[in-house]
Amino acid sequence: MENNRVLVTGGAGFIGSNLANSLAQNNDVVVVDDLYLGTPENLNGPVEFYNKSVLADDLPTTDVDVVFHLAALSSYKMHEENPQKGVRVNVEGFVNTVEQARKDGCETVVYASTSSIYGSRTEPSPEGLPIEARTGYEASKLARERYAEYFHEHYDIACAGMRFFSVYQGFGGAEEHKGEFANTVAQFTHQIANGEAPKLFGDGTQTRDFTHVEDIIRGLELAADNELHGIYNLGTGESYNFNTMVAMINEVLGTDVEPVYIENPFDVYVHDTKADYSKMHEATGWEPMIGFEEGVRRVCTPYLQNLSAQ
């Protein structure tokens, strides 16, 4: 993207700050974030930052060409801790943001949905699969998708919902601020590098389609450039189980930290994920460029640098 004025909600968070920093190289960027899981320290580009909730009646500078709406309570656990807040932020916050931007003339919206909607699958999940809301979090993201349909049908706004698959970067990037809500790749690497045993649910055979944040950012920008509407997966089409992930981290770090296996504490748990990204590829040419081996190496690199400096 170039020469646009864009709004990034949740723009001080993990994915949002990576997006805002990338966009700021060639665009005027406005960031709105209430700092629930974000920090302005994640922002290193020339952006306008506002500490504000997406529920505000007077969102700043919504006179933009594109809205990237990433603000959300972005996990099952977060949503269950306060379901009412989850609905307000995830659904009302989306409608509030898009409505204010629409009135100011914006016609392109790209927003975050979730791959959790597919449930547990070892086969690639295409967007057309029958889906159901098994949690309040999934229900809120499905509601967001339905409201996007409304904005498209009623106002002819291009609304692209991106279903992310297990996005990671590592604590050497913008993910550390998420703490317990960071991706398992980041958490396990940090623990192993510090000699701590990562805790794996069950027997560690659950799988994830781990997708590097840089690939996610390219997908978001391409969705806006192509004024996409509808639902699109952003994932690699490959899955790795947690045991393999821990072994890969140990190999890169030169460590030998064994995991500890514990009982899964969640009533609802997605055991396996894998994306079918063919729809996004056909629409924009997007495909993942960072394989998981390379991604793990990138997550581990800051720890290797620290060890070599000691």
What CATH number is associated with residue 300? 3.90.25.10
- Same domain for 196 and 224: no
**In a shared domain, residues 121 and 262:** no
Q: Judge whether 309 lies within some domain.
A: no
Query: Where is 108: in which H helix or E strand?
Result: strand 108-112
Q: What is the DSSP string of 168-188?
A: E--TTTT-GGGGGGS-HHHHH
Hey, what amino acid is at 238?
E
Residues 39, 183 share a domain = no
Sign of the Cα pseudo-torsion (196, 202, 207, 210, in order): negative
Please state the rounded mean pLDDT for residues 60-73. Answer: 95
Whether residues 18 and 137 fall in one domain: yes
Does residue 263 lie in a domain region?
A: yes
Same structural domain, 260 and 217? no
**pLDDT bracket for residue 310 (50, 70, 90):** low
What does DSSP assign to residue 226?
T
pLDDT confidence band for 305 (50 / 70 / 90): confident
- Please give the full DSSP string across 135-158, using - where no structure is assigned: SHHHHHHHHHHHHHHHHHHHH--E
Residues 229 and 126 in one domain: yes
Q: Are residues 99 and 180 in the same domain?
A: no
Of the chain, the percentage scoring pLDDT greater than 90 comes to: 90
Lowest mean pLDDT among 52-61, 87-96, 259-268, 300-309: 300-309
Distances in Å between the Cα of 26 and the Cα atoms of 9, 22, 23 are 18, 8, 6
Q: Answer whether 98's CB lies under 8 Å from 151's CB.
A: yes
Residue 275 lies inside a defined structural domain of this protein: no
Average pLDDT over residues 203-223: 98
Domain count for the chain? 2
What pLDDT is recorded for position 307?
61
Residue at 22 is within a domain = yes
Are 69 and 190 within one domain? no
| 166-196: pLDDT as tens digits | 999 999 999 999 988 899 999 999 999 999 9
- Please, are residues 299 and 186 in contact by the beta-carbon 8 Å criterion? yes
What pLDDT score was predicted for residue 309?
Answer: 60
Same domain, 13 and 147: yes
- Give the residue-averaged pLDDT of 101-130: 97
- Among the listed residues 50, 111, 118, 137, the single catalytic one is 137
Is 245 part of a structural domain of the chain? yes
Instruction: Give yes or no: residues 261 and 112 share one domain.
Output: no
Q: Is residue 46 part of a domain?
A: yes
Structure tokens at 13: 């968070």
Residues 123 and 201 in one domain: no
In this prediction, residues 188-205 reach a mean pLDDT of 97
pTM of the model: 0.96
- Structure token pair of residue 47: 């952006």
Query: According to the model, what pLDDT value does residue 113 have?
Result: 97
Q: Is residue 137 flagged as an active site residue?
A: yes
We report the CATH number of the domain holding residue 221 as 3.40.50.720
Q: Are residues 136 and 243 in the same domain?
A: no
Domain around 243:
169-208+238-269+292-304
Q: Is residue 218 part of a domain?
A: yes
Q: Interhelix angle for 292-309 vs 184-193, to 10°? A: 30
Please indicate, yes or no, if residue 116 is contained in any of the structural domains. yes
Bridge partners of residue 63, in order along the sequence: none
3 state SS of 51: strand
